[in-house]
Amino acid sequence: MIPALSRLFFVACLAVIAAYISLYFLGSDWAIFTGITVLLMPLIYSYINLARLKQYIRTDTVENISLPSGYWEEVYFGLQRLIKGLKQRMRTIEEQHAHFIEAFQASPNGIVMLDDGDHIEWCNSIAERFFGLHFKRDALQRINFLIRRPEFIQYLIKRNFDEPLLLERMGPNGSLSLMLQAFPYGQNRHLLLVQNVTDLHKADAMRRDFVANVSHEMRTPITVLMGFLETVQSLDLEKSQQDQYFEMMMSQAQRMKSLVEDLLTLANLESNALPAATNEVKIKTLMALLKNDAEALSQGRHDFTFDVESNANLLGDEREILSAFSNLVSNAIRYTPDLGTINVIWNINSEGQGEFSVSDTGPGIASEHLSRLTERFYRVDRSRSRDTGGTGLGLAIVKHIASRHQAQLIIESIPGKGSTFILCFPGDRLST
């Protein structure tokens, strides 16, 4: 205030001096004119600067103004500092905002922010994919207009958000199971967190199926066994008849034993550490073992060839590899009718991978079954499998062992002609 007043005082003095000089040289009319002109000068100067300022503010270029001198220099300088500070703060806030958005976008869960009227304020791209939303299009829309599942609408109406809500058959092709929960924040706003629980659900369903299958597989031989026991106990049977019953009981007990053994093998495979790629498994020794077992199981009903076409050995767990190989060979024997041919080959293919293949001239498998053969308890012909002592777990075990050795199980089959099962091991699982 003081500098402003002293400036005004200075201008007034200047006007008086100018008026006096004019009065002395030019007369009284000119003295008034000169005095008024000097008084008006700062007003004109201020008006010019105001007009400049208005122009700069309109074009948002106040920061670039060339500073005038004097009082207006302070005004412009103050304004420039204020605007620079504001812009810097805006940039910081924008950066923080961008970081938050990036963090929310990086979340593996869907996130939707709802205002007090359940309108979408923001959602991340995962939520867009889960619910088929498009933020730019759907912003500020009520969420229950866009997710029209009755259970979700009820969830919003009841407003009891203590428990999560499970939505099934969601996602672009209805294949997702989503677990959703709303969390209140701010002033009556809600954060909707959505988790993809499809795999968890599948695993849960698989576990239930597995328990049901095992119970079913065990119940049949136990029922048969109990029936025989009751018969032997209650009837006075002849020795030869008794022997026959005991033999049948033995075969049922054997079936349960095989099932339990296969279940234990699977359980071990799931819990054991991955096989190291350092133990060398001698293929020639393995092939000799396989040949002996195969001939014992076939009892002369099939023709065999066992070819070791490469000296390369495998790196892995010997017991597991033997188990996988013998499962494939025993399947070929069990499913190939008498007089059929079974070829077992070990070689290195053109891509440097080790291939163990078992081909048979058995009944073959229709293509629609191929992708499901390695599922636990999946059988093409249930009674044929049981008659030959199958548990329905053999190929599941093979697949598991294969993946523990980074190998692939390839199944090729022509119905009526035969099948070939190939275990393909990557080059770094070979030793030469």
Contacting residues toward ligand ADP, per CB under 6 A: 331-332, 335, 360, 362-363, 365, 373, 378-381, 385, 390-396, 419
Q: What angle do CA 320, 324, 328 make, to 5 degrees?
A: 165
- C-beta closer to ligand ADP: residue 320 or 360: 360
User: What is the smallest separation between the CB atom of 297 and ligand ADP, expressed in angstroms?
Assistant: 13
- C-beta closer to ligand ADP: residue 119 or 386: 386
Closest listed residue to residue 326, CA positions, set 301, 314, 341, 344? 344
User: What is the smallest separation between the CB atom of 291 and ligand ADP, expressed in angstroms?
Assistant: 17
User: What is the smallest separation between the CB atom of 347 and ligand ADP, expressed in angstroms?
Assistant: 20
- C-beta closer to ligand ADP: residue 302 or 405: 302
Q: What secondary structure letter does DSSP report for 356?
A: E
Please enumerate in sequence order all residues whose Cβ is within 8 A of that of 36, keeping only pairs 6 or more positions apart, or say none.
15
- C-beta closer to ligand ADP: residue 179 or 218: 218
- C-beta closer to ligand ADP: residue 311 or 367: 367
Please enumerate in sequence order all residues whose Cβ is within 8 A of that of 60, keeping only pairs 6 or more positions apart, or say none.
none
Using only the alpha carbons of the chain, give its radius of gyration. 44
- C-beta closer to ligand ADP: residue 344 or 365: 365
User: What is the smallest separation between the CB atom of 376 and ligand ADP, expressed in angstroms?
Assistant: 8
Please enumerate in sequence order all residues whose Cβ is within 8 A of that of 55, keeping only pairs 6 or more positions apart, or say none.
none
Closest listed residue to residue 409, CA positions, set 310, 331, 295? 331
Helix, strand or coil for residue 381? coil
User: What is the smallest separation between the CB atom of 396 and ligand ADP, expressed in angstroms?
Assistant: 6
Separation of alpha carbons 190 and 186, rounded Å: 8
- C-beta closer to ligand ADP: residue 181 or 258: 258
User: What is the smallest separation between the CB atom of 349 and ligand ADP, expressed in angstroms?
Assistant: 21
User: What is the smallest separation between the CB atom of 343 and ligand ADP, expressed in angstroms?
Assistant: 12
What is the sign, positive or negative, of the torsion defined by CA atoms of 368, 370, 374, 377? positive
Please enumerate in sequence order all residues whose Cβ is within 8 A of that of 52, keeping only pairs 6 or more positions apart, or say none.
65
DSSP states along 43-109:
HHHHHHHHHHHHHHHHTT-GGGPPP-STHHHHHHHHHHHHHHHHHHHHHHHHHHHHHHHHHHHH-SS
Output the six-digit token pair for 10: 């200075």
User: What is the smallest separation between the CB atom of 212 and ligand ADP, expressed in angstroms?
Assistant: 17
User: What is the smallest separation between the CB atom of 385 and ligand ADP, expressed in angstroms?
Assistant: 3
User: What is the smallest separation between the CB atom of 379 and ligand ADP, expressed in angstroms?
Assistant: 3
**Maximum C-alpha span of the chain:** 161
- C-beta closer to ligand ADP: residue 313 or 385: 385
Output the six-digit token pair for 188: 């009556």
- C-beta closer to ligand ADP: residue 79 or 380: 380
HSE (side-chain half, CA atoms, 13 Å) at 347: 12
- C-beta closer to ligand ADP: residue 316 or 392: 392
Give the 3-state secondary structure percentages of the chain, helix then strand then coil, rounded to 5: 55, 20, 25
